[in-house]
Amino acid sequence: MTTPVRQSYFLWAPGVILTILCGLVLFAAPNRNVPRCVELGSDVTSIYLGENSSTLIAGRSDGKIEQLDLETLEHRDIFEFGRGRVNHISASVDGQTVSCVVANERIVLRDFQTSSIVDEIELQNITLAALSPDGSHLAAGDVDGNTWVTMLPHESWTLLSPAHLKLVTTIQWNAAGTLLATGSQGGTIQVWDAESLDMVFSAAEPHSTILALGFEEDDGHRWIQSLHFDQTVTTFDLSIGEKRNQVRGSTQTRNGRYSTDGKEYVTIGRRGRVTLWDASSHESQVFQYAGESFTRSAVTAKWIVAAGAGSKVAVWRRESYDAPKFGELLGGLFVAGLILTCVATLHDWRKGLLYCVVLDSLRDPVRKLIPDAPVWFTLVMGLLWLVILLRATPEIWEKVSRRRFGLCPRLWGMGTLIVMFVATWRAISSYESGWHLALLGWSSYLSPVAGVLIGLTFVRGQRDLRALAMTVVGTSLVMSSSAFPELLSWDWRGLGGIDFDWIRYQQFGLISLMCGFYRSPTVLGLHAASAMMYAALLARVDSRPLRRVWLLTCLLMIPALIFSGRRKMLLIVLVFVVVLAVTSLRRMMSHAWPKRRRMLLTA
């Protein structure tokens, strides 16, 4: 009498673990680092924050400068230029002198204490300007790639040569004010000696725009680090004039800013992701996962500020950072659920397959919530599929051995194997690690065969097919609904790509592709399409009340298909609808033809 109880325990234990895992994912997903936000008078176009200051200086589109106290969030207007937007703001280290680029045509220097104008310098097509740390020099860049330097008080500009090929996107002085660095839209970097104005270093990283530059000095050794538009970070050793290392990025960055000492930098992603990075180890702290599309940032030892999304300014106090929790616990629960599911599969592999569908849907969100998003999580489900295949092998062999295949299918199978062996030999002989490619090819071709065999053996009747269809539809409906929070820019971990922005270039602009809790838009679209097809089949065979539920499920999957942005998934559904229509038409004709034949004979 104990055997059924033990089997029941093994079969229901994975369900308990999976339920706890689902609840923990929903509890751990929301971001705990909610910023303090304030609305300024009009759209913010530039910001500046001194290293030891708690006062933010913000330039606005209406030509005004606003001062914001980061402690109290009180703000007030301090300067007004009358016309033109304030494109860029910088200041000396002591905060006495503030430079403002107004309307891309002039630089206005003001005394911060008295609010009086120190100087007003004309320069056409200027994009940005930066004061040296001691306030003795002013450097500026324009849309033609030229870099200009003048000594204050201003008498004349000195044009540095050679110029960048494209517009200057960033200007940075080192802490001592002895070096000046500029970066361009074309990915070129130039470093100048501030005293002699001779170029001491140049480099070209043409794969993307330079967003920010940072100097770092240690025991007389100097490095400069560049942050690119695709979040690639390159470090150059100025002592020997060579590239030190490079960390390749794979996501779009709207804005970036280095700290004064060059040891940290902050990035703002396309979906509003605000991340603080260590310049040496490249370890990160995410303060916002999604939200407002900020375009300006500032970082100090105490504060992180983001602005540029309209008139809103978001402020984070770094000492209040709340690190993500439950990452290791989620990974442990997932592994425990996997082990228990394997044990349950040994008792009943059909129920284990249903658990596998649920566990596989949780794989991507759990992986995103685990620190560093380990790659082995994408492969770990192979263990469960192997157990299912081994457990189902006797039934598969029994079913396959009863069938007698014709000559054409056998020749087709033999020809496929010959081609695969030839491709394997070519891959191994042509590439150094060709066996990796060969193994990937064999798994790609044989995995669908194993899936087809398991599927044919799984179905013993309508009850088994209904259980599988309802499991797929239910899990896909819940997981695909996560595309809506991503569309609404909910600040949740686990939404969107893994350190990657999925976009598509069109003639009218960029389109953001949604993936929700899944790792990519393709996976979201595939699950939504599968759920639609299963729900349509269930709607054909179920009674009227349930039929409405399945048809409603099909309608709910349509937005997920559209948000994924994958045309191939829409084509899958279209082909399914055509096949279903042809099948239904043939069935109707087969039922109607005998009746017509009897009518003709009677006539």
Structure tokens at 577: 């609808």
- C-alpha 339/C-alpha 14 separation (Å) is 9
CA 311 to chain centre: 26
Give the mean pLDDT of 354-367. Answer: 90
Give the mean pLDDT of 249-267. Answer: 88
> Coil, helix or strand for 114?
coil
Q: Render pLDDT for 149-208 as a digit per residue (tens, 0 to 9).
A: 999 888 899 999 889 989 999 999 998 899 999 999 999 999 999 999 999 999 998 768
Question: In the chain, pLDDT over 90 holds for what percent of residues?
Answer: 29
Structure tokens at 591: 């039922």
The pairing of beta strand 503-506 with beta strand 312-317:
unpaired
Are the beta carbons of 313 and 58 closer than 8 angstroms?
A: yes
Give the mean pLDDT of 125-136. Answer: 91
Q: Render pLDDT for 217-238 as a digit per residue (tens, 0 to 9).
A: 877 788 999 999 988 999 999 9
Query: What pLDDT score was predicted for residue 600?
Result: 47
Helix ranges (H only) for 348-406 are 349-369, 381-402
Instruction: Using alpha carbons, select from 7, 30, 33, 2 the residue that is nearest to residue 320.
Output: 33
81-250: in CATH 1.10.287.130: no
Residue 291 has pLDDT above 90, yes or no: no
Give the mean pLDDT of 424-442. Answer: 81
Instruction: Using alpha carbons, select from 140, 146, 149, 69 the residue that is nearest to residue 100.
Output: 140
- C-alpha 489/C-alpha 214 separation (Å) is 31
Residue 507 has pLDDT above 60, yes or no: yes
pLDDT tier at 347 (50, 70, 90 boundaries)? confident
Which range among 380-384, 447-451, 547-551 shows the weakest confidence by mean pLDDT?
A: 447-451
Query: What pLDDT score was predicted for residue 545?
Result: 81
Instruction: Using alpha carbons, select from 180, 181, 227 the residue that is nearest to residue 208.
Output: 227
A 10 A CB-CB count for 503 gives 17
Domain range annotation of the chain: 1-32+325-403, 81-250, 406-457, 459-603
Please, is 5 exposed, middle or buried when counting C-beta atoms within 10 Å of its C-beta (0-12, 13-18, 19+)? exposed
> Coil, helix or strand for 217?
strand
A 10 A CB-CB count for 201 gives 19
- C-alpha 599/C-alpha 109 separation (Å) is 99
- C-alpha 356/C-alpha 576 separation (Å) is 25
Query: What pLDDT score was predicted for residue 599?
Result: 52
Averaged confidence pLDDT in the chain: 86
* Helix, strand, coil % in the chain, rounded to nearest 5: 40, 30, 30
Give me the numbers of helices (H) and strands (E) for the chain, helices first please: 11, 30
Instruction: Using alpha carbons, select from 213, 193, 191 the residue that is nearest to residue 262.
Output: 213
Structure tokens at 145: 């790639």
- C-alpha 67/C-alpha 75 separation (Å) is 5
Query: What pLDDT score was predicted for residue 256?
Result: 92
The pairing of beta strand 137-142 with beta strand 126-131:
antiparallel
pLDDT tier at 22 (50, 70, 90 boundaries)? confident
Burial call 353-378: b when 16+ CB within 10 Å, e when fewer: bbbbebbebbbbbbbbbbeebeeebe
CA distances from 435 to 382, 426, 427, 430 (A): 19, 10, 7, 10
Q: Render pLDDT for 451-467 as a digit per residue (tens, 0 to 9).
A: 888 888 888 878 888 88
Query: What pLDDT score was predicted for residue 2?
Result: 41
Give the mean pLDDT of 318-322. Answer: 91
The pairing of beta strand 106-111 with beta strand 274-278:
unpaired
Residue 432 has pLDDT above 80, yes or no: no
Contacts of 127 (CB under 8 A, 6+ apart): 87, 88, 101, 104, 141, 142, 143, 167, 168, 169
Q: Render pLDDT for 53-100 as a digit per residue (tens, 0 to 9).
A: 899 999 998 888 999 999 999 998 888 877 788 999 998 888 888 899
- C-alpha 298/C-alpha 79 separation (Å) is 21
CA distances from 54 to 248, 299, 314, 395, 500 (A): 34, 11, 14, 71, 33
Q: Residue length, the chain?
A: 603
Structure tokens at 34: 């909610």
CA distances from 171 to 127, 184, 469, 546 (A): 10, 9, 59, 65
- C-alpha 144/C-alpha 272 separation (Å) is 30
Residue 4 has pLDDT above 70, yes or no: no
Are the beta carbons of 58 and 46 closer than 8 angstroms?
A: yes
Instruction: Using alpha carbons, select from 118, 221, 123, 209 the residue that is nearest to residue 167.
Output: 209
Residue 307, beta-bridge partner list: 296, 313
Cis ω on the peptide bond leading into residue 35 (within 30° of 0)? no
Residue 10 has pLDDT above 70, yes or no: no
Residue 602 has pLDDT above 80, yes or no: no
Q: Render pLDDT for 479-496 as a digit per residue (tens, 0 to 9).
A: 999 999 998 889 998 888
Structure tokens at 242: 């060579």
Query: What pLDDT score was predicted for residue 1?
Result: 41
Residue 566 has pLDDT above 80, yes or no: yes
Helix (H) or strand (E) holding 160: strand 158-160
Query: What pLDDT score was predicted for residue 51?
Result: 85
pLDDT tier at 3 (50, 70, 90 boundaries)? very low
CA distances from 231 to 247, 251, 519 (A): 9, 6, 20
